[in-house]
Amino acid sequence: MIFSVILFKNKNNFWKESLQKQKEKIENLNLSPSGRVIEKLLQDNLSHEELGMEIAKNNAAFFKNYNNSSENKFKREASLSKEQQKKIESEEGPVFEEYLAEFLSKVS
């Protein structure tokens, strides 16, 4: 306990906060994901299928208009990675026997 006091002095203790949230879910099951689903089913008098379709429609609408700003960055990084791989593969390296001897001398 002293370690955590020193470690998190003047900082948020996210582990403690997370554990507190999980404890609250145990004490009040309506806070858990399954509790929220059951509450929604009862409150709106829905079947499982109806709730599933409602969730699917909401997700479809969200992703239809979703602008993932990271997507272009990932595509650019993938392209750069492919270029670097081609460069590495085109470079001449030592013959395998020399590489193996050098590698073994480093690890033994």
The whole-angstrom separation of Cα 13 and Cα 59 is: 33
- Per-residue confidence at 93, pLDDT binned at 50, 70, 90? confident
9 has pLDDT over 80:
no
| pLDDT for 6 | 56
Query: Contact 40/46 with Cβ under 8 angstroms?
Result: yes
Put simply, whether the predicted model's pTM sits higher than 0.75 gets the answer: no
Domain ranges in the chain are 2-107
